[in-house]
Amino acid sequence: MKFCIASIALLASSVSGFVANQPTISRQDTQLFERKAFITGNWKLNPTTKGEAMALAQDIVKNVSSESPGDIALFVPFPFIETVQNICGDKISIGAEMCTPQDSGAFTGGISAQMLKSIGVEWVLAGHSERRTINAEDDYEINAQCLKLIENDMSVMLCIGETLDEYESDLAGAVCETQLKKALNNISKEEMSRVAIAYEPVWAIGTGKVATPEIAQDVHAKCRAILALIYDQETADSTRILYGGSVSPDSVDGLMSKPDIDGALVGGASLSAESFSRIINFEFVGHH
């Protein structure tokens, strides 16, 4: 894939001010909503002990039923993966928070895709803003992680999003296009069935600030347009794009009612069984 500066400039200008220019439309009003909702939680460096992880998983999974409206996954710290898998069974997919692109060798602290696959992990996060900033993972490293996961027939949750400075400079569209094109380099149209996108405005992660449903919908629609440019409209329409950034029980219904928001990547609220269970069992606004 070629990196197109001109198209980035156009997207940067078109997203100016995050003015939602999409028609007012609910999620259930269009045929594109064959994409099944995907609600996911990222525990990050939590909880403190195995016992706490067990208790949290038990309290979450008991609120998952056949009436829950979407697929569910939890990305948990490595030491807890198998324990939480055993508790959640087939109700919740248990994923890893990162992997390294190397298969083996002198990489102290590394976790390979093959290691994760061997214990039944399917989904792995790549590109989370905390990994980009704290661990200095760039788009090329993230692309290598994505390629390695797909090579091993696993699935990747690719995180993208702009910083506060970029947001205030009206660069969200440009940043998302850059991150998508670089991270998806050499990933084929067919392999996109193993990729979900999580749009996480960095300014909203852990800050309590949430992009309004209208802001999030506008950026999600632009991300889907970028996927159509990279691949085609069919691929864009079939790819699930999740919103992440201080998602809460109070905000989830409005977010999930937007046509291009297919799920949520939930941070802090996934550490509360009560809050995350409400998010899992979201309701479409206007369709109660």
Q: Which of these is catalytic: 97, 141, 200, 220?
A: 200
Q: Which residues contact 212 (CB under 8 A, 6 or more apart)?
A: 254
- Between the alpha carbon of residue 192 and those of residues 46, 173, 273, the distances in Å are 30, 21, 32
**Rounded CA gap, 263 and 255, in Å?**
8
Beta bridge partners of 71: 38
Q: Which of these is catalytic: 97, 128, 130, 166?
A: 128
| Annotation says 67 is catalytic | no
Backbone angles phi, psi at 243, to 5 degrees: -105, 135
**Rounded CA gap, 166 and 120, in Å?**
38
Burial of 124 (0-12, 13-18, 19+ CB in 10 A): buried
Q: Contact, 257 vs 285, CB < 8 A?
A: yes
The beta-strand segments (E) located in the chain are: 37-42, 70-76, 93-96, 123-126, 155-160, 195-199, 241-244, 263-266
| Annotation says 52 is catalytic | no
Q: Which pair of tokens denotes residue 221?
A: 């629609």
Smallest CA-to-CA distance from 131 within 154, 159, 106, 112 is with 159
Q: Which pair of tokens denotes residue 184?
A: 């998806």
- Looking at the chain, how many residues does it have? 288
H or E element: which one contains 118? helix 113-118
Instruction: Provide the annotated active-site residues.
Output: 128, 200
